[in-house]
Every structure is written in C-alpha cells, then in structure tokens.
C-alpha cells in the first residue's frame, strides 16, 4: 500500500475556529474510501470557507485522521474566481511542489485541476485524472444563464482537453460518452471506472413489485445550487400528472439544497402543487436510502451528468427509474426508461406509463437491481488498483 495520494477537487469544504474540517451533507463522505482502500493517507486540495462552529451545526465534521486538507482560497462564481485567481494559483503551486514525488490525481473538469495540471507540466511531473463531467453540457444555455456563457464554455472545453492531453493515466466515469468527446493521448493509460461504489450491504435482496394505488410517491435527488438537475421541469411534470385524469395522483420529495431551493418552492406555489411537493434540503445517506425505500419511483430530470451516483443508488434498491438521456445515463438505463431533457410533458407521460403498467414496472425494477450489481464495491476494486498502479 502506498503512503499518500494527493487529490485536487472542486468540492467546497468548511473550517471552524478550531481548524476542524466540515463537509456539506450533500457530499457523500464515503467518496474517500475509493482512495483509502489503496492509500494510507489522502491530502485533499479544496477551496475552504472559514465559518464559526455555531454556523456549522448542520454540516458533517471530518473525523478521519487519514485525510488532511490544503485549504485553498474560497470563491463562488466567475467574479469570485477573478478576485481570488492569483491567490488561488499561488496557493496551489506553493503547496503542490511539496508533493511532486507522490501520486497525484486531479478531478476534472474544474479550474483547480487545470491550475494544478499547468504547474505539474512545468515541473515535468506526471499526474492522473478523473473525468467526471462535460463542460459543454455544464455551460449549455439551459444550465448556465450568463452573458459570457459561450466564452466560458469554449474556455472550459479547451482547459479540459489540455489537462487530459498531458495526463499519464485517465479514468472516465462513463464507458463511451466522455471518452468520445475528450479523448486521452495515445500514450496514456485509459480506464472506464465509475466513481460510484455501492456497498454490498445496501443492495436490495429483491426488486420492488408493482402495486396499483390511487396515490404514488416519487423521489428526486439533486443539488439546487444550480439548475442542472431540472427541478423546474420536474415540478411542471407533477402539475401535468395531477391535473390529468390518469387514475392516480403523485407526491414529490426533493432531496438537496442550494440557492435555488426557495425559487423552486415559489414555483411549486405558482403551479398550485405546493401541497404535493416537499423539499427536505440536504440530508444524510441514511435518509436518502430511507426516502428511496418509501418511494414508488425514482426520477432524475437532469440537464447534464457524468455518471450519476443517485441513479445507481436508486437502482440498487430495486425500483424503477425514469431519467433524461444525458451524459452517461444511457449507459445505465434502457431507452424505454429515458426522456429528452427540458421536456416536462414527455417526462410526465413517461412517469404515467411506468406507474400504469405492472409489466413495465416489474421489468424495470428487476432489471435495475441486476444491473446495479456491476457497481458493487468488490467488482470495482481491481480496476481502481490498476489505475493507481499506473501512477507509480
């Protein structure tokens, strides 16, 4: 086992006056186990906001002494980045030079990974990367409303391609989608490895069986820090279903927090469905699985994705899933379970179809449970071992 892995990421972390580190509840802290299975220690570079401990009572404190952090200047958005850019680059370079001899992994796309890659290239040092998303989709007009959107999209795509071009080893979370759009160099070792690892203990023993009801519960999971997850589309679909005489009504539970939460609550009132929708905000993993167990259908109306963990987690609980056909989702679901993004009517009709058909419901539940077993932790360990060995 190697001693230390250096990991650069876009996640935001928080520290209190006692230098304790905290995570938002939306972050699955089990992510670190993907690395601690192979390394004794991880050093994480991440932007860090200093807050008082009284403001962090709803956050998750890091108590794992196998993880240490390099706190980067905290910023949000383009304006914040421009203000902190010089300090950010200096902090990355001043600290990264101390870890040149360690294996280094950059999670991209993201400006922190890009700045890290630039410094490592100048030092003649090698690095590996995990490609977890598509900047073309992130900066699409549906997801990002900004006068400089097209410029930012072009710059981000260029940065990602440059970062990949010099990588020694590349992990893609998809099987084909991201590889096709952002190919690695011919000399690089390439791996297709989901960044999702399902603990064997949470996988259902049997798939859900269809039960005819007058009322169904639907659950969605996604951050509301941006509008990437399509919460507005889902709300419009709820209105369509509950107004259509289809023999049943639905309630929606949305898990996830962010600055658009209040706006989505206002939209629910405007659509006159606020009595049918509840926003639970940021919750822990136990609550996530409990809500999935209580639901009849999982829906993921996202506008952009890599390979979404939440979809796989729902599949492993043996229930049907309806989602948009973006990013790596077509690698997870059958065509009959997918719809186009931004189409609330198509989404509503697909939901009605699944909840109205015992044969389709049972077939999808059974198929999803079987497929999710490919993501068992025990099945992914060997692939990750090969990737980390390639960094030596």
Taking 70 as the threshold, does the pLDDT of residue 179 lie above it? yes
The mean pLDDT of 221-248, rounded to a whole number, is 94
pLDDT tens-digit readout, 119-131: 999 999 999 999 9
Q: pTM of this prediction?
A: 0.73
The mean pLDDT of 371-378, rounded to a whole number, is 80
pLDDT tens-digit readout, 298-318: 999 999 887 888 999 999 999
| Domains assigned to the chain | 2-197+376-390 (3.40.50.2000), 200-374 (3.40.50.2000)
pLDDT band at 2 (very low <50, low <70, confident <90, very high): low
Structure tokens at 215: 């009322």
């Amino acid at each position: 086992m190697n001693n230390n892995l250096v990991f650069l990421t876009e996640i935001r972390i928080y520290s209190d006056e006692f230098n304790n580190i905290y995570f938002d509840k939306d972050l699955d802290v089990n992510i670190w186990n993907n690395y601690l299975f192979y390394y004794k220690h991880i050093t994480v570079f991440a932007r860090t906001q200093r807050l008082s401990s009284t403001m962090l009572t709803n956050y998750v404190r890091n108590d794992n002494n196998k993880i240490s952090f390099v706190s980067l200047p905290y910023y949000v958005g383009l304006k914040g980045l421009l203000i902190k850019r010089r300090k950010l680059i200096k902090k990355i370079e001043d600290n990264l030079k101390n870890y040149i001899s360690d294996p280094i992994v950059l999670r991209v796309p993201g400006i922190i990974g890009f700045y890290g890659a630039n410094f490592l290239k100048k030092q003649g040092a090698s690095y590996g990367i995990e490609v977890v998303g598509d900047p073309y989709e992130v900066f699409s007009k549906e997801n990002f409303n900004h006068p400089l959107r097209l410029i930012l999209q072009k710059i981000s795509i260029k940065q990602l391609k440059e970062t990949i071009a010099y990588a020694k080893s590349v992990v893609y979370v998809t099987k084909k989608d991201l590889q096709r759009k952002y190919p690695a160099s011919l000399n690089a070792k390439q791996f297709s490895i989901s960044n999702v690892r399902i603990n064997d203990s949470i996988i259902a023993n049997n798939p859900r069986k269809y039960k005819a009801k007058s009322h169904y519960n639907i659950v969605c999971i996604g951050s509301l820090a941006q509008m990437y997850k399509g919460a507005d589309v889902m709300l419009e679909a709820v209105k369509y279903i509950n107004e259509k005489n289809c023999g049943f009504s639905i309630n929606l539970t949305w898990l996830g927090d962010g600055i658009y939460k209040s706006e989505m609550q206002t939209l629910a009132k405007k659509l006159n469905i606020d009595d049918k929708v509840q926003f639970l905000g940021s919750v822990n993993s136990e609550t996530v699985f409990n809500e999935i167990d209580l639901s009849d259908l999982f829906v993921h109306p996202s506008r952009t994705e890599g390979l979404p963990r939440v979809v796989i987690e729902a599949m492993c609980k043996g229930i049907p899933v309806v989602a948009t056909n973006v990013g790596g989702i077509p690698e997870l679901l059958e065509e009959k379970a997918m719809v186009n993004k931004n189409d609330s009517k198509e989404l509503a009709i697909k939901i009605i179809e699944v909840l109205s058909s015992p044969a389709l419901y049972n077939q999808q539940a059974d198929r999803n449970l079987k497929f999710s077993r490919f993501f068992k932790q025990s099945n992914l360990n060997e692939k990750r071992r090969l990737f980390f060995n390639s960094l030596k």
